[in-house]
Every structure is written in C-alpha cells, then in structure tokens.
Amino acid sequence: MTGLLASVVTLEEAKLAARFKVSIIDLKQPANGALGALPVAEVRPIVNALQPEHCLSATIGDLPMQPEPVRQAVQAMAATGVDYVKIGFFTDGDWQPVLDALASVEARLIAVLFADQPLDLQWLQAFKQAGFSGVMLDTQNKRQSLTDWQSLDQLEAFVNQAKRLNLLAGLAGSLRAEHVPRLLPLAADYLGFRGGLCRAGRRTSGIDEQALTQVSQCFAAAGNAA
C-alpha cells in the first residue's frame, strides 16, 4: 500500500491532514526552499498536539553539504520528537563526510535526492550502510513535476533499489492528483504532496481542503489508504 505524505506549515494544516488520516504529516516551510525548514520552536507544538497517534516527519532545510551544520540541524530537529528527519543531499559538496558525521545521531533519517540533479542509485547503498531509514526522490525546481525529469521506468528503478535495501521509498516533486494513478503502480511507500494540496496549486499558499479531498480520493479509488 502506498501512503500519502502531506507537507504542512502550521498546526491548523497539520490537524486538517490528520483528519484525512494521511500516512505521514510532513513539517516544512516551502517559502524557504525545496526543503525549507520550520523553526524547531514551531515544530514542537505540532508534535505535542499530534503524537503518538500520527506519524510526523520534518526537514532540516536546504543546507550545504557540510558535516557539522547538517549534524547539528539533524540533532535539533530530532529532539522535537518527530518520527523522521529529512535531509536534502545536494550536488554542492561531498556526501560521505556528511554521512560519517551522522553516524552518531540517534534518529530515523530520510535522505532526499533530487530528480532534476544527476542521480546515482549507487548512493542508496551508502545511505543504508549509514543507518538511514529511507530515501526519497523529490525535485528542486518546483516549476516542473517529478515525471518531467524522470521516466516511470527510472522512478521504478529507484523504488525497487530502495526496497532491495529495505529502505523506505518516497516519491515527490510538484505532484498533483492526476499523477496518483500513474505513480501508484510503482509501489513506493508514499507519495509526497504540497503544491497539489494548496490553493491554486501554489505551494506557499495554505492547504485547500477540496484539493486534499481530491488527492485522497485518487488514493482510495485505487484501493490505497491515504
């Protein structure tokens, strides 16, 4: 079963996502970048309000690939009590020292790769060896969707490689309701949405209940739980 990840900015949005029983409530600030982070002080009250009944993730922001800043940001976000911490792996630095720095951090980590950057699936093995819980394929450029950058065959290869390594596999990147029936057969663990849930499709606008209903219904129509 493929679940729905809904990215939210506020406690009000998080409660709306919870009412729709989405699989993962993802805390982020889209105005600050592809993986813009909410301040820790804003994450804590959302976690306190929704756990343990709901699964929550949060991103650390669009940080450069520098070991110590990434480690500190991960530790700070993990301390809020979220279930998963998402880390964007960008092409502006050396990834292995970052993985080494995270070895001592006690948290369930999700590595986010970007479909609109060079993609090397061999790194999935390195994430597994570093103790990560999962991997996610997203887009940095939000003007185009995931399927504009990667074919269904390429996305399936990503999901299958992750599953062979017993990693959670997520797909995201300007997804809309019409992407759901195309992507569900790939059997990712979850599909991630933000702009597709928002008013007028703008990811920095608030979540629109009608859009969330439409996306949820697409999952249900295929026999998937949102």
User: Which residues are known catalytic residues?
Assistant: 28, 86
Q: Phi first, then psi: what are they for 190, rounded to 5°?
A: -160, 155
Please say whether the beta carbons of 211 and 226 come within 8 A. no
| Residue from 162, 160, 79, 84 nearest 123 by CA | 162
| Residue from 207, 153, 199, 197 nearest 172 by CA | 197
What is the distance between the alpha carbons of residues 209 and 197, in angstroms, rounded to a whole number? 8
Return the beta strands (E) in the chain as ranges: 3-8, 24-27, 56-59, 84-88, 109-114, 134-138, 168-172, 190-193
Please say whether the beta carbons of 65 and 101 come within 8 A. no
